[in-house]
Amino acid sequence: MLSAKQHLLTALAAELEKLQSGAGARAAFESPKVAAHGDLACTAAMQLAKALKQNPRQLSETLRSGLLATPAFERWVDAIEIAGPGFINIRLKDAAKQAVVHEVLQAAECFGEQAAQPNKVLVEFVSANPTGPLHVGHGRQAALGDAICNLLATQGQQVYREFYYNDAGVQIGTLANSTQLRAKGFKPGDAEWPEAAYNGDYIQDIANDFLAKKTVKSDDRAFTGSGDLNDLDGMRQFAVAYLRHEQDLDLKAFDVKFDNYYLESSLYTSGKVDAAVQKLNDAGKTYELDGALWLKSTDYGDDKDRVMRKGDGTYTYFVPDVAYHIAKWERGFTRVVNIQGTDHHGTIARVRAGLQAANVGIPKGYPDYVLHTMVRVMRGGEEVKISKRAGSYVTLRDLIEWTSKDAVRFFLLSRKPDTEYIFDIDLALAQNNDNPVYYVQYAHARICSVLNAWGGDTASLMHAELSALQSPQAQALMLALAKYPEMLTSAATDFAPHDVTFYLRDLASQYHSYYDAERILVDDETVKQARLALVAATAQVLRNGLKVLGVSAPQKM
């Protein structure tokens, strides 16, 4: 069907070009809002009518006549109907819809993917400071970032995953002080315990291992504790390595990997922060006022100018962000996507302003941002707020241990990032149709059961005769399969992995309806082969979509 649709689109573009020069570039098909109206819809006549000063319905009739005379429409289209003020509804021949089955089986795991492109894309996500375990908000960010990377990769883009964190700021100092207090025998509630200290039980674990002179290793660092109560800097480095290791365990349980870890401290030690400030000074985009250095960010649409360097000589937090993104650009990443919490909304304008003011060739709108809200966790109808491990919040590992990696990923991706999400533990454990990940995975397992009962070689299905696939349920399922590539492209463009979850739920629904309507393992060999080919193609697309989300496709449930 994809090949047929492309031929039809080319023919439509040519006919529109005859009506108005340049109109062919806007050729497009839509899905009718009501399935009974047809398989494809076109609104081009209504869009052109005003410019051409013609009645839109009459223009639709003219376009219809032209399209029916083209070889592509003669071959693939059964009928074209005009509706309402000028909607063009197209009914495809059965062969056009059936073609998608062979297209899926031949492309297999590559179905829906686009050709490789030369451009490099850097996606920065999670980027949690190593001051405690990853919480469920980090989990949402990890799921989003990984799925967006997978989506971009399906479109042929070279994707690079990066984790950026601060290893030497005020919070890290608080971590070191909290560890030292625990090592000296103090605990939360004692008079000596500061209000700003970290209270989780993990702080005691860090202190104990430091005193035992253990060595901790993470993906990007390693450190051995000295055991010296007065070695505050050693405790800082040990605690950072310890918690980075803990984060690695969380990410491993979530099956998320990074290509690089980038330290905020390196921006200072390498001179990149000072170099960025110098660029802004040289461009005339800074000024001194009240002992501070300011950026003229209002020149770039910010609501007010921003302080860059405070009176005490330290930089405000957006300055290293500017330096970091200049470094991304200099490393050859012409496109950058940042996955962050909605609390970072205020930094977008000033970071982009700083990048424009630096005058290093970075385009407007760089980088792209995907902002997400936090996650609430419900269990037994009540909100869960506290983790024994973390002391004040539910961790990502808690959520995975309570449910599963698949459930956490699918659930956290099932809503738009900027909408609040309530994770229902009980629903995630339910084995029924109300549980969306179970519903989709069960569809795949159900198909695998049919294929196993058949026992044949699925490769042979690529040559199956498909003319028997004529029932309404079979045709609806084939139309759903054909939507997958366009859905992927749209989801990648919009950074919208939730679209993939919606699509998979719809595809699973179409399959369940088909399974209930037609027996697959019938005596007629031609019919059986056609139906097996259809369900095998459906299983392939379910696997492909679940892979984008980082969710498994079980063969048994």
Query: Rounded CA gap, 357 and 525, in Å?
Result: 70
| Banded model confidence at residue 386, pLDDT cuts 50, 70, 90 | low
Check pLDDT > 90 for residue 2: no
Q: What is the dihedral of CA 38, 44, 47, 50, to 10 degrees?
A: -110
Cis peptide before 363 (omega within 30 of 0): no
Q: Which two tokens stand for residue 421?
A: 């999400």
Question: 158-165 and 215-217: which strand pairing?
Answer: unpaired
pLDDT at 390: 57
| Banded model confidence at residue 388, pLDDT cuts 50, 70, 90 | low
Q: Mention every residue, 6+ apart, whose C-beta is less than 8 A from residue 183.
A: 207, 210, 211, 229, 235
Nearest residue to 256 via CA among 161, 168, 351: 161
Rg over alpha carbons for the chain, rounded to the nearest Å, is: 29
Cα atoms in the Cβ-side hemisphere of radius 13 Å centred on 512: 14
Could you give the angle at the alpha carbon of 373 between the alpha carbons of 248 and 346, nearest 5°? Answer: 100
Could you give the angle at the alpha carbon of 157 between the alpha carbons of 153 and 161, nearest 5°? Answer: 65
3-state helix, strand and coil shares in percent for the chain, rounded to the nearest 5: 55, 15, 30
pLDDT at 540: 98
- For the packed helices 436-454 and 498-517, what is the interaxial angle rounded to 10 degrees? 50
Query: Rounded CA gap, 366 and 301, in Å?
Result: 14
| Banded model confidence at residue 447, pLDDT cuts 50, 70, 90 | very high
Q: In the chain, which residues fall in CATH 1.10.730.10?
A: 433-549
Check pLDDT > 80 for residue 452: yes
Domain 433-549: give its CATH code. 1.10.730.10
Q: Which two tokens stand for residue 147?
A: 């799925």
DSSP for 324-388, written as a single string: HHHHHHHTT-SEEEEEEEGGGHHHHHHHHHHHHHTTSSPPTTPSEEEEE--EEEEETTEEE---T
| Banded model confidence at residue 51, pLDDT cuts 50, 70, 90 | confident
pLDDT at 31: 85
Q: In the chain, which residues fall in CATH 3.30.1360.70?
A: 2-92
Architecture of the CATH domain 2-92: 2-Layer Sandwich (3.30)
Mean pLDDT of 115-124: 95
Q: How far is CA 116 from the centre of its chain?
A: 19
Q: Could you tell me if residue 550 is left (phi over 0), alpha (psi between -120 and 50 degrees) or otherwise beta?
A: left
| Banded model confidence at residue 36, pLDDT cuts 50, 70, 90 | confident
491 versus 385: the higher-pLDDT residue is 491
Least confident residue range of 21-25, 106-110, 540-544: 21-25
Nearest residue to 529 via CA among 457, 475, 447: 457
pLDDT at 261: 96
Question: Is the sign of the CA dihedral 42, 48, 52, 54 positive or negative?
Answer: positive
| Banded model confidence at residue 133, pLDDT cuts 50, 70, 90 | confident
Residue 45: C-alpha distances to residues 48, 64, 81 (Å): 5, 10, 13
Question: What is the percent of the chain with per-residue pLDDT over 70, rounded to a whole number?
Answer: 99
Query: Rounded CA gap, 312 and 418, in Å?
Result: 37
Amino acid at 278: Q
Q: Which residues pair with 81 in a beta bridge?
A: 89
Contact between 41 and 30 under an 8 Å Cβ cutoff? The reply is yes
Query: Rounded CA gap, 506 and 36, in Å?
Result: 17
Check pLDDT > 90 for residue 227: yes
Q: Which two tokens stand for residue 13?
A: 């573009």
Check pLDDT > 90 for residue 431: yes
Other CB atoms within a 10 A radius of the CB of residue 175 amount to 25
Nearest residue to 467 via CA among 93, 104, 41, 138: 93
Q: What is the pLDDT of residues 283-316, one digit of tens each?
A: 999 999 999 999 999 999 888 999 999 999 999 9
In eight-state DSSP terms, residue 26 is G
Name the H helices within 231-344: 232-253, 264-269, 272-282, 318-330
Q: In the chain, which residues fall in CATH 3.40.50.620?
A: 120-163+260-372
| Banded model confidence at residue 372, pLDDT cuts 50, 70, 90 | very high
**Termini Cα distance of the chain:** 32
pLDDT at 124: 98
Contact between 172 and 199 under an 8 Å Cβ cutoff? The reply is no
Query: Rounded CA gap, 69 and 293, in Å?
Result: 70
Check pLDDT > 90 for residue 1: no
Query: Rounded CA gap, 218 and 131, in Å?
Result: 14
Least confident residue range of 108-112, 342-346, 405-409, 454-458: 342-346
Domain 120-163+260-372: give its CATH code. 3.40.50.620
Q: What is the dihedral of CA 71, 72, 75, 77, to 10 degrees?
A: -120
Helix (H, G, I), strand (E, B) or coil at 118: coil
Give me the numbers of helices (H) and strands (E) for the chain, helices first please. 21, 16
Nearest residue to 481 via CA among 442, 454, 458, 508: 508
Contact between 419 and 412 under an 8 Å Cβ cutoff? The reply is no
Contact between 40 and 32 under an 8 Å Cβ cutoff? The reply is yes
Query: Rounded CA gap, 105 and 534, in Å?
Result: 9
How does the average pLDDT of the chain come out, rounded? 94
Least confident residue range of 152-161, 163-172, 285-294, 323-332: 163-172
pTM, whole model, 2 decimals? 0.91
Query: Rounded CA gap, 51 and 234, in Å?
Result: 73
pLDDT at 387: 59
